Amino acid sequence: MDLDTIESLPHEPVYFTPLPKFPEVQRDLALVMDKAISCEQVVNLIQGSSPLIREVKLFDVYEGAPIPPTKKSLAFTLTFRPEEKAFTPEELDKLTQEILEKLKTSCDIALRV
pLDDT at 90: 94
Q: Are 65 and 21 in contact (CB under 8 A)?
A: no
- Is 74 exposed, middle or buried (CB count within 10 Å of its CB: 0-12, 13-18, 19+)? buried
Express each pLDDT in 40-94 by its tens digit: 999 999 999 999 999 999 999 999 999 999 999 999 999 999 888 888 999 999 9
Express each pLDDT in 90-110 by its tens digit: 999 999 999 999 999 999 999
Region for residue 22 given its phi and psi (left: phi exceeds 0; alpha: psi -120 to 50; beta: otherwise) = beta
DSSP string, 59-78: EEEE-STTS-TTEEEEEEEE
Q: State mean pLDDT over 5-27.
A: 83
Q: Which amino acid is at 60?
A: D
